[in-house]
Chain A
Amino acid sequence: MYLAAGRSGPPSTVQAAPERPARRTRVASTVLALGAVSLVTDISSEMVTAVLPLYFVLQLGLNPLQFGFLDGLYNGVSAVVRLAGGHLADRRQRHRLVAGAGYALSAVCKLGLLFAGGSTTALSATLAADRVGKGVRTAPRDAMISLSCAERDLGRAFGVHRAMDTTGALLGPLAAFALLWLAVDAYDVVFLVSFCFGLFGVVLLYAFVPAHPSPAAATSRPSDLRAALRLPAVPAFRRVLVAASLLGLMSVGDGFLYLVLQKRLDLDTVYFPLLPLGSAAVYLLLAVPVGRAADRLGRRIPYLWGHLGLLGVYLVLFSPVPGWPLTVLVLVLLGTYYAATDGVLMALGGPVVPEKQRAAGLALLQSGQAVGRLLASVLFGAAWTLWSMQAALALAAAGLTATLLLARFLLPAHPTESA
C-alpha cells in the first residue's frame, strides 16, 4: 500500500518536515512530546509499583513471595515481547501505532487490577499484560526519538527524554503515598488515578507525536523479519551489541547493590523505598548535560566513563567509607552511571542501524543488555552465597574493569560521525 503512495509521501507527514532544519538548535518537538508521554506514563506505572506489595499483603492477604517469583518470570517475557514490538513497528513503519498499543494496554491493566480483586489468576494475567505493554512500547518509542532529530543531536535528545521519564518515576511513588495518606487504604484510588495518567499518556501520544517520525521512513519499503534478524551481521552494530551485552553481564542490579548497602549500614527499613528515588534524582539532574557532552565528545566516551560510575559503586561498597557518606556516594555514582549509559546507548546504537530497522535494532540492544544484567544478578548472588559479599563485589569489579578495556576496543571511535 505504501509503495503505491510513491515518493510524494502522504500529506500528513509534510508539516513536520519544514520545521527541522530551522530548529536544529532546539530539541525536536517529537522528543519533547515523547518525553511528556513517558513522564505521565511513568507516574502511572510507578505509583502502582510502589503500592503493589502493600496491596497484595494487606488488602488481599496474598503470599508475596509467590508474586516475587512471578515478577521475575514476567521480566523474562518482556525481552521476547520487546523484539516482537520492535519488528512490528518497523515492518509497517508504524512506530506510533505499536507504541500506542503498548501504552494503552498498560493503562487498561490498571483498571484490571481494580477488577481482578483477590483472584490470583486474574492478578497474574493483569501483571503479565502490563509487562507485555511495557515490552512492546519501548523499542518503537526509542526508534521514534532517534528518527526525529539530526544525528549530531541524538545524545541530547535521549538525555531530555530520559530526564522527563525519570521525573515521572520520581513523582509516581510520591503521588501514590500521598493518595494513600489522603484516603486511607484506598488502593482503588491509586489504581484509578494511575489509569487516568496512563490514558492521558496515550492521548498525548496521539495528539503531539507524528505518525511517522521520519518523512523518508514513511515512504520506504517495509522491513522484513529476515533483514531484522541479519542486523547483527552489520559490523558496526554487532560491535555495539556485543559491547552492551558484555557490559550488561558485569552490571549487578540495583536491588542487589541496595541490599549490600543495607547490610553494611543496617539501614532502617523505613528508608528502603527512598533509595531508588535518590539515584533517580541524580539521573534526572545529569541526563541532559551528559547527553550534550555525548554529542560533542562522541557517545563512546560517556558510555564507557559512565560504567566507571558503576565500578565506583562496587569499590565504595567494598571500602570502609562509613554511614551517610557511603549512602550518598552510592546513590550519586549509581545515578551518574544510569545518566551516562541508558539513553546514551540508544544514541550510540541508533545511527548504526538502518532507519527502516531502527526499532528492531534498538530492541536487540535493549534485550542484549537486559539479559546480561539478569545473568549478572544471578551470578552475583551465587558468588555471594558461595564465598562472601566482599568476594562477590571484588569479582564484579574485576570483571567490569576487564570488560571495559575490551569494550574500549570493540566500540567504534566515532560511530555517529559517519556523515
Chain B
Amino acid sequence: MTPTLSPRARVGAVSLAAVVLATFAVVYTVRAADRGGPATGSSHVTLDNTPGLYVRTADGKVAALSKGGARETALSCRRFYASGTGAVCLTTKPGIPPRTQAIVLDRSLRPRRTVTFGGTPNRARVSPSGRMVSWTVFVTGDSYSGGSFSTRSGILDTRTGYLVKNVETLQLTLDGRRYAASDVNFWGITFARDDNRFYATVATRGRTYLVEGDFKAWTARALRENVECPSLSPDGTRVAYKKRVRDSGSDPWRLHVLDLKTLRDTELAETRSVDDQAAWLDDGTVAYALPGRARGSSDVWSVPADGTGEPVRRARDASSPSMNAGR
C-alpha cells in the first residue's frame, strides 16, 4: 500500500506535475511552430516556361523535373495536377474546423478561383483541355460506424463557373438499371477531351465499378466491376486503374490498363500494390506514387502501359505526378 500524503502535499504534487507537463507541452509546441509552415516564396517556374514531369516533393512543394534537374514552384499542395490551360492544387487550411481548398491555377500558376470544402484531400485532376477540374476528398463522420470514411468528389467547369460540390446526385445506371442507395461513393474522376464525357469509380455494397459519365446529361452508367481510380489515356482509348487482386488488408491492388472498346484488361509490369490514381506521361507510359523507404515518404515510378518492360523510378521523395507537355 502506498503511504497516504496530506491533502496539501497532494495538491502540491499535482501542481508540480501540471507545471512540468504544461512546460514540456508548450516548449515542444513552440519549437514545432518555429519549424515553420510552408513559406510563401516566389518562383519563376510556370507551366509555360518549364515543361516536364511535375511532382509534389517531400516538403509539400510542387516541383518540375526538367532536363536541368528539379525546379521548385512557389506552390505548396497536398495534391497537384497540371494539364492543358491550367492546374489544380489541393491544400488544407488549419482552423476550427479545418478546411480543404481546391485552388484552380492558370498556366502562370496564378490562382484563378478557389473552392473551399471539408474533408481530407485525396485525388485531383484537370481535363486535357484544362477546362474541367475535379477532385476527391475523404470525409469522416459520414458513414455507418463512427470511425470509418467515405469519399466525396466535386467538379468545377472553369469556363462557365458551374460547380458541383458533391457528384452523388448523378443519375446512376448499374447492371442496366437505375440505381440509388445510401452508400454510393464516387472517386477518381477523369475527363475526356470533349470536356463532357468522364470516367470515375463508384462504390456501393462493398463493390467498385467503372462508370462512364455524361456531364451535360448528368448521368453515369457502370461499364464493369472492380475498377478503382481510373485515369484516361491521352488518346482517350484506354483507362489505367488499380484493380483489387487480394481481399486481405495488405497489398490489395495491382495496376491494370483497360481498353475501352474491347473491355480487355492488361496487367502492367508493376507487381507492387499501387494506391494512387495513375497519370499518363504519354500514350505508352503511366506514372504513380509508391511508398518510399522513409516513413510517410513516397517515390514516383513509371511503367509501360502495355504490360511490357519494368518499373523505373522517376523521382525520390515525390508524389502526385502529372505531365506538362508545354506548348
Contacts and interface: CB of A to CB of B under 8 A. Distances in A.
Contacts of B217: none
Contacts of B116: 270
A255 B4 contact: no
Contacts of B13: 203, 207
B33 A186 contact: yes
B318 to A, nearest CB: 12
Contacts of B24: 192, 196
B41 interface: no
Contacts of B99: 270
Interface stretch (A177-185, A232-240, A358-366, A404-412): A177-185
Among B149, B152, B275: residue with most chain A CB under 10 A: B149
A273 B22 contact: no
Given A60-B295, A258-B141, A273 B97 contact: yes
A61 B296 contact: yes
A32 B121 CA distance: 42
Contacts of A270: 97, 99, 116-118
A189 interface: yes
Among A53, A211, A262: residue with most chain B CB under 10 A: A53
Contacts of A272: 97, 118-119, 139-142
B18 interface: yes
Contacts of B10: 207-208
Given A57-B122, A207-B13, A389 B149 contact: no
Contacts of A255: 141-146
A28 interface: no
Contacts of B94: 177, 180-181, 184
Interface string B113-142: 000111111100000000000000111111
B147 A71 contact: yes
Given A54-B92, A183-B33, A263-B182, A61 B319 contact: yes
B96 A178 contact: yes
Contact of A57 (B18, B38, B60, B120): B120
Contact of A273 (B35, B118, B249): B118
A354 interface: no
Contacts of B122: 57
B18 A183 contact: no
B146 A208 contact: no
Among A54, A179, A258, A263: residue with most chain B CB under 10 A: A54
Contacts of B4: 11-12, 15
A118 B295 CA distance: 5
B37 interface: yes
B21 A119 contact: no
A75 B143 contact: no
Contact of B35 (A65, A186, A268): A186
A318 interface: no
Contacts of A59: 296
B98 A177 contact: yes
Among B33, B35, B145: residue with most chain A CB under 10 A: B145
Contact of B137 (A65, A263, A266, A269): A269
A159 to B, nearest CB: 24
B108 interface: no
Among B4, B10, B92: residue with most chain A CB under 10 A: B4
B291 interface: yes
B98 A186 contact: no
Interface stretch (A319-327, A344-352, A377-385): A377-385
A269 B118 contact: yes
B214 to A, nearest CB: 22
Given A184-B38, A269-B152, A274-B97, A57 B138 contact: yes
A68 interface: yes
Nearest to B273: A63
B95 interface: yes
A205 to B, nearest CB: 10
Contact of A256 (B25, B144, B149): B144
Contact of B14 (A57, A182, A204, A262): A204
20 contacts: A53-B149, A61-B275, A64-B120, A64-B148, A68-B145, A71-B148, A72-B145, A72-B148, A177-B96, A181-B95, A183-B33, A186-B32, A188-B32, A253-B144, A258-B142, A269-B152, A272-B119, A381-B144, A385-B182, A385-B205
Which 8 A-B residue pairs are closest in the complex by CB-CB distance? A68-B148, A71-B147, A269-B118, A184-B37, A117-B295, A118-B295, A270-B118, A181-B94
